[in-house]
Every structure is written in structure tokens, then in C-alpha cells.
Structure 1
Amino acid sequence: MKKVFLIALLIPSLAMAANFKQVVSGKKLTLVSATCAGVSFSKDGSIANMYGEQGIECSPALSLRAKWLNENTAMLVEKVRQNKNAPPRVFVMQFQSRNGNKITVKDIWAGWGNYPDEILKYTIE
């Protein structure tokens, strides 16, 4: 009886588990309450582009290589070297949940200094 109860508790969490690499590949994620800012992924999930709020035009501001650490964590690394004396910018996105076309992501700080991680919400387009 205890095993049945335990299985009944786990089934909803298993059903909600997602392979976020498959979910976001070929999609653009736009920050909730933004018109353009966000990130898009290539169809195979290996390339990402970051967008900023730039007024009328919505074009990529930063091209990144995506390295998937597991099915819900992507490390995005700057593709074009901006400064010979500085390391590339790195972004770590840990996808946490999906509810319809909304997705919650933990933005893990990977830069200089100590800054807190952020929870960001995106709309999947």
C-alpha cells in the first residue's frame, strides 16, 4: 500500500518533467512584459541569440554557442571575440518549469563578482 501511495505522489512530477532542450529548440523566448528582449535557439539547440529591447527593430544583439549540460541546463558562450584580453561572456540558463507557453528559467550568475541568481519568466514563441 505504501508503494502505491508513493507512486501516486510521483506520477504528477514525472508527467511535468520535460526535456527543455527539445522544448526551446527552434523557438524564441521573450521576457514576460517585454516586446523583444529574450533569447532564441536554433532548431538543433546548438546556437542561441540574445535580444535586447531596441525600440522598433528586434534583431539579435549577441550570438552565442549553446552547450547543453543536461536536458534542463544550457551554458551559452559568446561566439565572437570582442576583446583579445577578456574571456568570453558566459550565461547559464537552468530551465525550471513550463506552463503552456510560459517557461521559468533560473539565470545562474557566471560573471565577475558575487551577484545573486535570478528567476526569469519567458513566453515561448
Structure 2
Amino acid sequence: MKKLLIILLLLPSLAIAKDYKTIISGKKLTYKGENCAGVAFSSNGFYAFIYAEQGAKCLPNLSLRVKWLNNNTVMLVERNKTAENAPQVIVMQFKSIKKNKTTVKNIWAGWGDQPDQIEKYTIK
């Protein structure tokens, strides 16, 4: 009986869970206030590309593979070896999406102690 009660209590939250992978596949997330800087996800959901503000040009400067950890958390790992040290890893936890805006918690996955950051993006 307890298990049934717990399932009934969790059911509404499961029903409204968003499928972020479907929502952002094929889209570019641009940092709030920027024209180019952000991350673009391939339409098949397997790859992503980091963009930086580079003057008039808007070209990707880092190719990543995509691994979804759950329905709202994605891990991006550098695809091409650019140095002898470990690949760059980015962990993004989607907090909300409203229209073409999203709030993401960027979870620190590098060496040393750095705080996680909440960032806002425009979905294009």
C-alpha cells in the first residue's frame, strides 16, 4: 500500500517531466546578451559545438560528443584530442524552459574547486 501511495504522489511530477533532449536537439543555445557565444546541438542529438564571440564570424571552436545522464542533465565531452591532458567535460543540468529561454546549471567538472554556475540562454 505504501508503494502505491508513493507512486500516486510522484505520478504528477513524472507526467510533467520535460524531454530536454528532444527540445534542444537541432537548436543553438546562445548566452543571454550575446550574439554568438553558446552551444549548438546536432539534430540527431549525438554531437554539440561550442561557439565563442569572435567578432563578425560565428564559427564553432570546440566539437563535443553528447551523453544524456537523465532527462534533464547532459554531459558534453571534447571529441578531438587537443592536448595531452584530459578532455574538456561540460555538465549541463536544465532547470527550466519558457518559450525560447532556458535556465541551465553548469556543473563544474574540471580540476580544482570551482562553483557551479546558473546561466541563461536563448534558444535559436
Q: Give the TM-score taking structure 1 as reference length.
A: 0.87
Q: Distance in 1 between matches of 2:110 and 2:55?
A: 27
Query: Following TM superposition, by how much is the alpha carbon of 1:14 offset from its aligned partner in structure 2, in angstroms?
Result: 5.6
Query: Following TM superposition, by how much is the alpha carbon of 1:70 offset from its aligned partner in structure 2, in angstroms?
Result: 1.0
Counterpart for residue 47 of structure 1: 47
Q: Distance in 2 between matches of 1:119 and 1:16?
A: 22
Counterpart for residue 76 of structure 2: 76
Query: Following TM superposition, by how much is the alpha carbon of 1:16 offset from its aligned partner in structure 2, in angstroms?
Result: 4.9
Counterpart for residue 64 of structure 1: 64
Query: Following TM superposition, by how much is the alpha carbon of 1:29 offset from its aligned partner in structure 2, in angstroms?
Result: 0.5
Query: Following TM superposition, by how much is the alpha carbon of 1:89 offset from its aligned partner in structure 2, in angstroms?
Result: 0.5
Aligned CA RMSD, in angstroms, stands at 1.7
Query: Following TM superposition, by how much is the alpha carbon of 1:17 offset from its aligned partner in structure 2, in angstroms?
Result: 2.6
Deviations 1:11-56 (A, max 9, x none): 5x56653110011000000011000000000112110000001110
**Secondary structure, counterpart of 1:53 in structure 2:** coil
Amino acid at match of 1:64: L
Q: Which runs of 4+ in 1 moved over 3 A?
A: 13-16
Q: Give the TM-score taking structure 2 as reference length.
A: 0.87
Amino acid at match of 2:59: S
**Secondary structure, counterpart of 2:121 in structure 1:** strand
Q: Distance in 2 between matches of 1:124 and 1:16?
A: 20
Note the residue ranges of structure 1 that are not aligned, 5 or more in a row: none
Counterpart for residue 86 of structure 1: 85
1:88-107 correspondence to structure 2 within 5 Å: 88-107=87-106
**Structure 1, 13-22 or 99-108: larger mean CA deviation:** 13-22
Note the residue ranges of structure 2 that are not aligned, 5 or more in a row: none
Q: Distance in 1 between matches of 2:68 and 2:52?
A: 23
- Give the paired residue count: 117
Q: Distance in 2 between matches of 1:124 and 1:51?
A: 14
Counterpart for residue 22 of structure 2: 22
